Chain A
Amino acid sequence: MSRDTVLELTEITKRFGDLLANDAISLSLKQGELLALLGENGAGKTTLMNILFGHYTADSGTVKVFGSELPPGRPRMAIEAGVGMVHQHFTLAGNLSVLDNIMIGTEGLGQWRSGRRAARNKLMVLADRFGLGVDPEALVSELSVGEKQRVEILKALFRDARILILDEPTAVLTQIEAARLFETLNAMTEDGLSVIFISHKLAEVMTASNRVVILRAGAVVAERNTADTDRAELAELMVGRRVTRPVREDQQPGDNVLDLANVDVVENGRKQLDDVSLTVRAGEILGIIGVSGNGQSSLGRLTSGLVGASSGQMTYDGTTTDRFTPRQLVANATGRIPEDRNTEGAVGEMSLWENAVLERIGDKRFSRHGIVDRNGCRAFTADLIERFDVRGAGPQTPTRQLSGGNMQKMILGRNLASVPKLVIANQPTRGLDEGAIAAVHGELLAARKAGAAIVLISEDLDEVVALADRIQAIFKGRLSAPIAADDADPQRIGLMMAGIWEGDHAA
């Protein structure tokens, strides 16, 4: 088999202000290869691919595709040279049809007619060939995330891409969808296409790629054939040190902090939680495991005071009610780590210090007589940044500039800085890289040790087994009875996640 080099990046360097995002990076891609670009958040992977595609212009360095150099900063030239890119944040218009989204930019703007029928046929042939079924006339906003990604891939194939770049393609997919995606990518490489995918997930890199290039702090630190390496080595290369996730130590729990008794929640006319009961005690982590979409979001909103129970009772710290209010929860030292940090956890346009104090701005530490004590707030934030290892930011930095992991550390920090009574952590490590996951786990365990009662809602089996004292599964809005973590084996939890638990049939 001939293995020609189809893509060559040479000495790519890019600075954003003081930040050296890409430091003289060189890499090459051979035909028919599935190359993984592995690195933590902020390692410079996306920047490098954006330079390759022409979204950014490199300060120095060259990009060669099929032997000829690409002019910098021109996506159109990259597309014409045969490069297709699937962005992490989809570049689709929800109000337009699939076919519209695929055809944009493929025809001359001076044309008086759009060749929709021919385009539609070409699309159907491509979809068929790679098993990427879509309805060309469907509105993009009505598609699932997995289908939207299929449209993105089809967009690239439609323009005859020979080199496909995917930026964290599995970040938004379920495990089943992710497995399907890699099947598709395999079919493409067998067809002669060449693929680069960006990832920070070791498992998928090990199973899917032929070769791995590891980036750290903007530079290539190593390159391995996937067959010659293992997860442990890759983890160490990626993070730059040995990462071990912390594990809980035995500890005697205290009094009941939060009790839910036979709670129903109805949202948008549908019963999202059905006869749910749980208890969490001081100094204990209760894990709620389940595939997402089984009522976790409602449970999070219920315990954050955003919705009330339509029946049943909740007791928190001795007070019984059917609805918490956010203000009362904050006053009661409750830490809330919301499911979606970008929309519910932080205000992107506001600075780090504003976000850090927002929930508790009435505190004496942060304001007096209705006037904000900026110095106090900033000092508190600077303290948070140091204690919780928030990187790449100062108190004045706009929060949207933080990477996901660092934003999550800030949210954790503001909730855990003074020991809370209760913490509701909803999917706290979703989308984070190894280093950040270990940090978040460490902080949750520290809060447990200090006596906080913690509800950990997660779909990550390893995470729940490592952290939780007791585990309940959530399925179609119902909760199983708790089992002790010591009795939990993956098979039993797997069954519970599918709604099969003793003495009860939740299906």
Chain B
Amino acid sequence: MMEAVDILFSASLWGAVLRIATPLIFGTLGALICERSGVLNLGIEGIMTLGAMVAWMTVFQGGGLWTGLLVAALCGGMFGLLHAVLTVPLGLSQHVTGLGITLFASSLTYYIYRLALPVSSSPPTIEPFQPLAIPGLSDIPFFGEALFSQTAPTYLAILAIVVTAYILIRTPLGLAIRMTGENPHAVEAQGLNPTRIRIGAVVVGSALMAIGGSFLTTATFNSFFPTMVQGRGWVCIALVVFASWRPGKALLGALLFALFDAYQLRLQHVVEGGVPYQLFLMVPYVLSIVALIVMSRRARVPQALMAPYRKGER
């Protein structure tokens, strides 16, 4: 029993939390930006899978790790553009289109992967991002190992939260995005183009989702397999609600989920005999649902979320 508590005080747990949280942070931020402009993007699961494969493939073919992330972002942005064109100017159902994008992107990913690597007994690996110890800070006991010995994309994720929060809250562009998600007619009446704003937000948001996926292959697993995203995209969609559409709370949510996940992994080794490990795997999801119930009852939903905007119509 004491061992179960001791886990919480190990630096390796907290280091793992940040690592596990990184793809969730990128994915949640991406979904949050889309939804703040009024577009639900259920293509996230597929876009993350695509990002994971594309980044891995780029590196596997001899590209650099950062080039891999960039290519992933570009591909994610392209699928975002597809989703945006279908749902914004054409006004199609965002649910159905998003699920379609997920199926399309996942299948295409697997197809390209198989096309490039017809035979493989065990998936080939690449040389991943190495932990980047921040000089000085990484020497602090406990915190140094937990917080300041992460890979570069993890630091980038934290930076992305700060930048997104700043843009959304402090800049005219952010106001335009938020207003478009609340009432696109108000945006149009003030001389801006809500259609363009939505398309832009979905493209950028989708690029972030793909970067989140790419973290799995370039920093965690070192190889690609088709089912590796494992519902992380759906978790991100839930985290956006948990976060009440606010970037700061999104970080909190991602960390919380990652904590549950990292904890159950270690708990599996501590608890002895008779308890099936699937039970532990369930823990983060069950706790997430509980957290969602507690946190999001008073969430402030963007008023025009999922409402297509057509000029000259009310």
Contacts and interface: CB of A to CB of B under 8 A. Distances in A.
- Residue from the set B191, B192, B300 with the largest chain A CB neighbour count within 10 Å: B191
Given A91-B185, A104-B192, A105-B190, A96 B171 contact: no
B91 to A, nearest CB: 15
| Interface size range of chain A in the complex | 35 or more
Interface string B90-132: 0000000000000000000000000000000000000000000
Contact of A92 (B173, B186, B188, B302): B186
Contacts of A108: 172
Contacts of A94: 182-183, 303
A55 B183 contact: no
B298 interface: no
A109 B178 CA distance: 13
Interface string A60-100: 00000000000000111111100001010101111110001
A89 B314 CA distance: 9
A94 to B, nearest CB: 6
A75 B189 contact: yes
Contact of A55 (B170, B186, B312): B312
Interface in A274-329: none
B312 A103 contact: no
B13 to A, nearest CB: 38
Contacts of B266: none
B171 A105 contact: no
B47 to A, nearest CB: 25
Interface string A243-269: 000000000000000000000000000
Contact of A105 (B176, B182, B312): B176
B191 A93 contact: no
Contacts of A91: 183, 185-186, 188-190
Contact of A56 (B191, B300, B312): B312
B182 A109 contact: no
Given A75-B191, A91-B189, A93-B186, A100 B179 contact: yes
Interface in B120-151: none
- Residue from the set A80, A91, A106 with the largest chain B CB neighbour count within 10 Å: A91
A64 B38 CA distance: 35
Contact of A95 (B188, B191, B302, B312): B302
Nearest to B183: A93
Contacts of A56: 312
A39 B179 CA distance: 33
Contact of B172 (A50, A80, A114): A114
Interface string B268-279: 000000000000
B167 to A, nearest CB: 9
B311 A55 contact: yes
B296 to A, nearest CB: 15
B312 A109 contact: no
A369 interface: no
A104 B187 contact: yes
B204 to A, nearest CB: 13
Interface in B183-231: 183, 185-192
B292 interface: no
A241 interface: no
B283 interface: no
Nearest to B181: A93
Interface of A: 50, 53, 55-56, 74-80, 85, 87, 89, 91-96, 100-101, 103-114, 155, 159
Given A55-B189, A87-B189, A94-B183, 5 more contacts: A100-B179, A103-B172, A104-B192, A112-B171, A155-B190
